[in-house]
């Protein structure tokens, strides 16, 4: 069971490993959207958005519901919103650590008369 869970996690994070897919998920966190809406918001051509939505659908991260001739996309699990929020917090922590390190280097340089 442990190996199956690790495999699931690896495949899940692989599916998230593209900046456009992350952007699409962030947009869907604000509400369901069709392909045209997503395209307009990300400023990307349709084929790129469609390709990334295909990956996200294949990994059951988003769902698509037919509405006439349009497909409306939504997050399959609202926990994705929390995951993206945690990733942002981790990024901010790394940024704070980097700034702190740079400040220490600058202080050290100033103390040495450089």
| Element at 48 (helix H, strand E) | helix 46-58
| Each residue's pLDDT tens digit, 51-93 | 999 999 999 999 999 999 999 999 999 999 999 999 999 988 8
Model pLDDT, residue 4: 94
Query: Considering the entire predicted model, what is its pTM?
Result: 0.80
The per-residue pLDDT for 52 is 96
- pLDDT tens for 3-30 read 999 999 999 999 999 999 999 999 999 9
Nearest residue to 29 via CA among 93, 77, 91:
77
Between CA 33 and CA 8 the distance in angstroms is 27
Quick check: helix, strand or coil at residue 62? strand
Q: Assign residue 18 a region (left: φ > 0; alpha: ψ between -120 and 50; beta: otherwise).
A: beta
* pLDDT number for residue 61: 97
């Amino acid at each position: 069971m442990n190996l199956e869970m690790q495999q699931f996690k690896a495949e899940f994070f692989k599916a998230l490993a593209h900046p456009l897919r992350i952007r699409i998920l962030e947009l869907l966190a604000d509400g369901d959207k069709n392909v045209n809406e997503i395209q307009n918001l990300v400023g990307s051509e349709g084929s790129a958005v469609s390709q990334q939505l295909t990956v996200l659908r294949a990994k059951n991260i988003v769902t698509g519901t037919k509405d006439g001739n349009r497909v409306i996309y939504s997050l399959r699990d609202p926990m994705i919103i929390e995951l993206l929020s945690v990733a942002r917090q981790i990024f901010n922590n790394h940024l704070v650590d980097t700034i702190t390190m740079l400040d220490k280097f600058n202080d050290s340089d100033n103390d040495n008369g450089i």
